Amino acid sequence: MPDIDAVKAALTEQRIETPSWGYGNSGTRFKVFAQDGVPRTPFEKLDDAARVHEFTGVAPKVSLHIPWDKVEDYAALATHAKERGLELGAVNSNTFQDDDYKLGSVCHPDPRVRRKAVEHLLECVDIMDATGSKDLKLWFADGTNYPGQDDIVARQDRLAESLATVYQRLGDDQRMLLEYKFFEPAFYTTDVPDWGTSYVQCLKLGDKAQVVVDTGHHAPGTNIEFIVALLLREGKLGGFDFNSRFYADDDLMVGSADPFQLFRILHEVAKNGGFEKETNVAFMLDQCHNIEAKIPAVIRSVMNVQEATAKALLVDRDALAAAQRTGDVLTSNAVLMDAYNTDVRPLLRDLREEQGLRPDPVAAYRASGWQERIAAERVGGEQAGWGA
Ligand code: PSV
Ligand code: MN
């Protein structure tokens, strides 16, 4: 049986990075519903992220999105983070909200547009230098809508050339994390649609390029844990963008749609060394809270990752390996299900109390008065949201 102290130690060391855009207004293409107290600046987003860390103890890192989080002085933003016990995490590029990018960015047929996109990515690395961020996270909206619209292979070549330019610019301790998504906004071809395409591009670039698995970016029924196991085996899993989906890229709270899938993914992470510091897997959230209160939703999401992690760490791996060796299908499956069916909430409550935290982070946040305070104080100005 797994040693409970070792499980608790691993849970204490786990770090879950939250996205700056999760604190801002968001919605669908039909409507963005504004909420009271939403941050107006990247500094205020960090103030909210600090509450998530205060009540969970495991969320000190915040991913930025450029230009949504553009500021005059990035060192000042990093200091603001540090003063609140936070660090700035991955810098996410944005090459999808400019008219020039109608036919793509780094894969665009026009070299001028490709250059413009690459310049933006290089600017993101400059920002990383100023903030101390280690990861450049790339998601490209590039693709085509109609058969014949562009040359599939030529677009891969342009992608490779653009990425190589940015790769050369990375510092020794900086990484490039290449995300894939099977469709949307392009509907016929997407230039990085799957883990294989991302992997092939990263392999050519070198060790500092790794794949990001956004759990919402697969066709229904895809076995995501298989992809995770395979990437870990190849040393190419850079991190996760966690969220839940029912239909498309829904960006709902992680673990809400399919907690069993999240457990299966984290079991492969645990089994294949993905929780070891040296493996350097970034556990990030990529979510939008369109109708629910944002800060408690981020807290809930962090807790969902913790619960699935605890269950994954509780798998009796010796018993599992023994059953697998003897081809005992039923026992193998039962060992896994025993861990999944364990109620880990008491363990996590105890752990929080041992760390001087309140056992129920959402209740603690609600009782803190922060929500009322920001609703009263953050009046005037422009609330952060898509494109801001
Ligand atoms: C768009 O699909 C997306 O959700 C990607 O997953 C990125 O990680 C995120 O937006 C931020 O650009
Ligand atoms: Mn993502």
Is the CB–ligand 1 distance for residue 135 below 6 Å? no
**Quick one: tokens of 222?**
């895809």
* DSSP bridge partners of 285: 242
6 alpha carbon – ligand 1 mean position (Å): 34
Nearest CA to ligand 1 atom 7: 139
**343: which residues sit within 8 A by CB, 6+ positions away?**
none
**Cross-strand pairs, 213:** 240
Alpha-carbon distances of 328 from 52, 241, 283, 333, 335, rounded to whole Å: 43, 34, 33, 9, 11
Atom of ligand 1 nearest to the CA of 21: 11
As a residue count, the chain comes to: 388
Please give the average per-residue pLDDT across 169-192, as a whole number: 98
CATH superfamily, domain at 4-377: Divalent-metal-dependent TIM barrel enzymes (3.20.20.150)
Residue nearest to atom 8 of ligand 1 (CA): 139
Mean pLDDT of 308-335: 98
The finding on whether 69 has its CB within 6 A of some atom of ligand 1 is no
Residue 386 has pLDDT above 90, yes or no: no
Residues 6+ apart with CB under 8 A from 123: 66
Would you list the DSSP string of 1-12? ---HHHHHHHHH
Mean pLDDT of 304-330: 98
CA of residue 90 to ligand 1 center, whole Å: 13
* Residue 248's pLDDT band (cuts 50, 70, 90): very high
User: If you measure from the C-alpha of residue 139 to the centroid of ligand 1, how many angstroms do you get, rounded to a whole number?
Assistant: 6
pLDDT exceeds 60 at position 4: yes
User: Is any ligand 1 atom within 6 A of the Cβ of residue 245?
Assistant: no
Q: Are 68 and 387 in contact (CB under 8 A)?
A: yes
Q: What one-letter code names the amino acid at 305?
A: V
Band (pLDDT 50/70/90 cuts) for residue 1 is confident
Residues forming beta bridges with residue 91, ordered by sequence position: 64, 136
94-145 residue pLDDT tens: 999 999 999 999 999 999 999 999 999 999 999 999 999 999 999 999 999 9
Residue 179, ligand 1, Cβ within 6 A: yes
Query: Which atom number of ligand 1 is nearest to the Cα of residue 251?
Result: 4
Between residues 386 and 379, the one the model is more confident about:
379
- What average pLDDT does the segment 37-57 reach? 98
Mean pLDDT, range 76-86, rounded to an integer: 98
* 92 Cβ below 6 A of ligand 1: yes
Distance CA 285, CA 203 (A): 25
Q: Which of 250, 238, 249 is nearest to 206 (CA)?
A: 238
Task: Answer whether residue 387 shows pLDDT above 70.
Answer: no
| CA distances from residue 388 to 172, 260, 299, 384 in whole angstroms, order as listed | 32, 35, 23, 5
Residue-level pLDDT at 388: 42
CA 260 to chain CA centroid, Å, is 19
Dist CA 25 CA 141 (whole Å) = 21
Gap between the Cα atoms of 307 and 301, Å rounded:
10
Domain boundaries, the chain: 4-377
What pLDDT is stored for residue 378 in this prediction?
A: 98
Ligand 1 binding pocket mutation candidate from 121, 139, 198 (most atoms within 8 A of CB): 139
In one-letter notation, the amino acid at residue 203 is L
Strand order in the sheet with 282-285: 18-19, 61-65, 87-92, 135-138, 175-179, 209-214, 237-242, 282-285
Mean pLDDT of the chain: 97
